[in-house]
Amino acid sequence: MAPIGTLWGSSRQPQTKIICSVAALNGLELEQPEWKSSDRPAGYTSAFSYGKIPAFEGSDGFKLMEGASIARYLCGLGTKVNLLGSDAKEIAQVDQWTHFSEQEISVPGSNIMGVIFGFAGPFNRETLDKQTERLVRALTYVETYLGTRPSGYLVSDSLTLADLFLVGGIYGCCYTTLGVAERAKYPAIFAHYAKVTGNEVLKQFWGTEHFTDVAVTEPKPFQYT
């Protein structure tokens, strides 16, 4: 099968992992040029002047930015699995949890990384505490909700895009905020993480090798390993 298009993005970026997961589940092939933020491929810079990743350009020239939009588009191209819900209510719930995971988990997680690694300017303890409080509130809510789900998934009895976005948010937070002690507080969330990422098709994109053992609460030099 010929590639459906080109995906630009870092293999460590959760949104890129989500898009690759959607493509793999549906048997869709993507071209993925090596990504270096300091040396961006010419094809990317000419197609996406805003400079944001992930970014997708279809073989027909169709262009998209924003991870959720790209992931939803690829869901619509696939026929092997339905990741968007089977009726109007499920579709709305998939959207709900996708946005919740991005706004209430990924955003504070990214803000925390910005404070710790200096991306957001000088270290600010008050900002770190506020973003951590916001993240804990969201995680507590999801933990309680998943405890009511016999299937272990957010919306239906099978995997949906919402589950992939939750996994993406958790993955990002485990780089700094969720150490071993913190992860132990959310058994349902991490059972969900193991369930989703344990899928034979998805194992190649996810894992726990970059998870921190101890939550990072002080300024730290950024190391992209």
CATH code (residue 179): 1.20.1050.10
Residues 105, 150 within the same domain: yes
Q: In what order do the strands lie in the sheet with 30-31?
A: 30-31, 5-8, 55-58, 63-65
Per the omega criterion (within 30 degrees of 0), is the bond before 3 cis?
A: no
Last residue of a domain, one of 57, 77, 97: 77
The reply to whether 203 falls in a domain is no
**Domains: count for the chain:** 2
- With cut-offs at 50, 70 and 90, classify the pLDDT of residue 80: confident
Is there a single domain that holds both residue 151 and residue 187? Answer: yes
Statement to judge: residues 64 and 105 lie in one domain: no
Do 138 and 193 fall within a single domain? Answer: yes
Domain assignment present for 142: yes
Q: Residue 64 has what DSSP assignment?
A: E
Tokens 């009511």 -> residue: 148
Q: Which two tokens stand for residue 43?
A: 């094809």
The predicted-structure confidence for 86-100, as pLDDT tens digits, reads as follows 999 999 999 999 999
Helix count and strand count (H, E) for the chain: 9, 4
Question: What is the domain extent for residue 31?
Answer: 5-77
Q: Tell me, yes or no, whether 82 lies in a domain.
A: no
The answer to whether residue 21 is domain-embedded is yes
Q: Residue 195 CB: number of other CB atoms within 10 A?
A: 15
- Per-residue pLDDT averaged across 7-18, rounded? 94
Same domain, 73 and 97: no
Note whether residue 62 is domain-resident.
Answer: yes
The pTM of the full predicted model, rounded to 2 decimals, is 0.95
Same domain, 100 and 25: no
- Check whether residue 26 and residue 73 sit in a common domain: yes
At residue 172 the predicted structure's pLDDT band, cuts being 50, 70 and 90, is: very high
